[in-house]
Amino acid sequence: MGNASDTSAVFTSTISKEHDILMGSLYSIFCIMSLLGNCILLLVAYHKRSTLKPAEFFIINLSISDLGMTLSLFPLAIPSAFSHRWLFGEITCQLYAMCGVLFGLCSLTNLTALSLVCCLKVCIPNHGNKFSSSHARLLVVGVWCYASVFAVGPLAQWGHYSPEPYGTACCIDWQAPNHKLSALSYIVCLFIFCYALPCTIIFLSYTFILLTVRGSRQAVQQHVSLQTKTTNAHALIVKLSVAVCIGFLGAWTPYAALAMWAAFGDATQVPPAGFALAAVFAKSSTIYNPMVYLLCKPNFRECLYRDTSMLRQMIYRGSPQSEPKERFGSTLQRNKDVSISTRFSNGQQEGYGSCLQCTDDVSLCHVTTPQRTACILTGSTYTEVTVSQLSAKPQADFL
């Protein structure tokens, strides 16, 4: 890329330090949210792995690609943004750009495959119901292979990776088509096969789904009567998939528009701050998938609630404050056991079983036998005596 001074100049930020600090702060927030959201989503998916539907494999794969982008890009982009320059050299710049292209294209291709599966299940249910988990796994592998072709291409001299126009990150060299034919062919193929075609397929798939549901409501109702729960689950997946697609495409479209402007227009007219803002929007795409599915999908939400309930119980049992409460609770229970007894007319209590302080050796336990009493009226005075003290023959002064 040139001598050391040229390299240093290329890796220096071209936007203000305040904008870099703002970008680093936003990246830090996205990183934390993406790590938490995607890890929780993968944990929930692991716990319900035996009941996963074929379409949900694409949700999991999307979460994996988002997590891969988070772990590979944010740890390098955040310190570089705060330092007002790229800190990690040219080789790391190439790997950083490759990871960004790989995980970004994998997410978009994954959403495209998900839209096709949803369309197949809703529009052609006879064939869609035959789509199994094995088919989903095979399609997921194809998604990664498809994205890998375009991610590895620049490393094989088809296209080129370079620092971003704003200087603190790396991606495809969008100005290269002005100088190299191979770079021009790479970007044209990238635009057609990795943006225009996937967006068209996604749009047409969900359009066909909408038309099928609206125009063939009676047929859909007949299908629902056969497999109500399964179809309802597929309908929910369709709705959530549409939400994720809108969020993802909304996040990446500004960057794609600026990239095409730089590739096929006058690259010097593209403001670096615009590229920086578009990059922030693009990286925010890593948080949409877990937010949508964890908040809106009932079975994911219920599984998450069970897991968090178990965690709260474990924390509560391990806390030092729980011991006095348990001791207090056992004391209340002991007092309650004492109070559950049979009362006689002399006010004594009879334990129901054995006394609470007894050991296994019954001879060590002394139980007082309750006595029945009677009241004797002598003149105007009452006297209480035990029944055993009364004579067999009644007396005149007995009451």
Q: Read off the CATH number of the domain in which 87 is found.
A: 1.20.1070.10
Residue 160 within any structural domain of the chain = yes
pLDDT for position 276: 93
Residue 353 within any structural domain of the chain = no
Residue 6 within any structural domain of the chain = no
- Alpha-carbon distances, residue 226 vs 16, 55, 120, 219, 229 (angstroms): 62, 20, 18, 11, 9
End-to-end Cα spacing for the chain: 119
pLDDT for position 284: 92
Secondary structure letter of residue 192 according to DSSP? I
Least-confidence region, from 32-46, 65-79, 89-103, 301-315 = 301-315
CA diameter of the chain: 132
User: 95 near 171, Cβ under 8 Å?
Assistant: no
Whole-prediction pTM: 0.72
pLDDT for position 398: 44
| Number of folded domains that form the chain | 1
Residue 51 within any structural domain of the chain = yes
Residue 130 within any structural domain of the chain = yes
Assigned token pair, 239: 């709705």
Q: Is pLDDT of 14 > 80? A: yes
pLDDT for position 391: 52
pLDDT for position 75: 95
Residue 321 within any structural domain of the chain = no
Region 108-126: mean pLDDT is 90
User: 161 near 248, Cβ under 8 Å?
Assistant: no
Least-confidence region, from 97-101, 152-156, 333-337, 349-353 = 349-353
pLDDT for position 135: 92
Q: 203: closest CA among 162, 161, 249, 139? A: 249
Residue 90 within any structural domain of the chain = yes
Assigned token pair, 91: 């080789």
pLDDT band for 44, please (50, 70, 90 cuts): confident
pLDDT in tens, 344-383: 344 444 444 434 444 444 444 444 555 666 656 555 555 6
pLDDT for position 50: 84
pLDDT for position 379: 53
Radius of gyration of the chain measured on its C-alpha atoms: 37
pLDDT band for 243, please (50, 70, 90 cuts): confident
pLDDT in tens, 131-172: 888 999 999 999 999 999 999 999 998 989 999 989 999 999
Phi, psi of 342 (to 5 degrees): -95, 125
Q: Is pLDDT of 222 > 90? A: no
Q: In this structure, which amino acid lies at residue 272?
A: P
Q: Is pLDDT of 384 > 80? A: no
3-class SS of residue 350: strand
pLDDT in tens, 274-309: 999 999 999 999 998 888 877 776 666 677 667 667
User: 369 near 346, Cβ under 8 Å?
Assistant: no
Structural element, H or E, at residue 392: none
Residue 10 within any structural domain of the chain = no
pLDDT band for 48, please (50, 70, 90 cuts): confident
Region 249-271: mean pLDDT is 88
pLDDT for position 130: 87
Domain span holding position 42 = 21-222+230-315
CB contact burial 281-320 (16+ within 10 A = b; e otherwise) = ebbbbbbbbbbbbbeebebbeebbeeeeeeeeeeeeeeee
pLDDT for position 360: 44
